[in-house]
Amino acid sequence: MKATGLRTGEVADAAGVNVQTLRYYERRGLLAEPERSPGGQRLYGEEAVTALRVIKAAQRLGFTLGEVAELMEAGRHRHGRPVSGLRERAGVKLTEVDAKIADLTTIRATLAAAVEAGCDDLAACAASSCCPLPFAELAADGQPAPGPSE
């Protein structure tokens, strides 16, 4: 009797990951251990392709593998309840993304001002009153000044 299922390389190709990634996810418990052929080859069901795509999509949205594992585990044990924690965790992630966007917007504006001011020398810029880089603010915030090796 011939065992059916997708081999490791086929699943990896279909999901757009490499074989090492697939096996790593399996070791981490993100993927169920597959059945084996009589010859010992791993044989995955189509659901493995879907699971891999879900994992990669969640990572692109900023979730860590640990968070993905928790979300997937919660989904497996929901016992008919429609909530697996995704809404709450996505809300937290959205707040984090908004904070990063705000920080990046400030950084972008500061860099654009530095370009506009013609800052070519960091030390000269820091000594200038028209320098848009926030050296004084960083020092006032208790941030350590960059050392010579940084």
Task: Tell me what pLDDT residue 1 has.
Answer: 45
CA atoms within 13 Å, Cβ hemisphere of 101: 6
Residue 21's pLDDT is 96
Q: How high is the pLDDT of residue 82?
A: 54
Give me the pLDDT at residue 31, please: 93
pLDDT at res. 140: 62
Phi, psi of 123, rounded to the nearest 5 degrees: -65, -40
What pLDDT, on the 0 to 100 scale, is given for residue 150? 46
For residue 36, the model assigns a pLDDT of 92
If the chain, 150 residues long, is cut into consecutive pieces of 10 residues, what is the mean pLDDT of each piece?
81 96 94 91 94 95 92 69 74 95 92 83 78 70 50
Q: What percent helix, strand, coil does the chain show, rounded to 5?
A: 60, 5, 35
pLDDT number for residue 96 = 95
**Domain 1-84 classification at class level:** mainly alpha
Taking the CA atoms of residue 92, residue 97, residue 98 and residue 101 in that order, the dihedral angle to the nearest 10 degrees is 170
Instruction: Give the pTM.
Output: 0.68
Domain spans in the chain, listed from the N-terminal domain onward: 1-84, 88-142
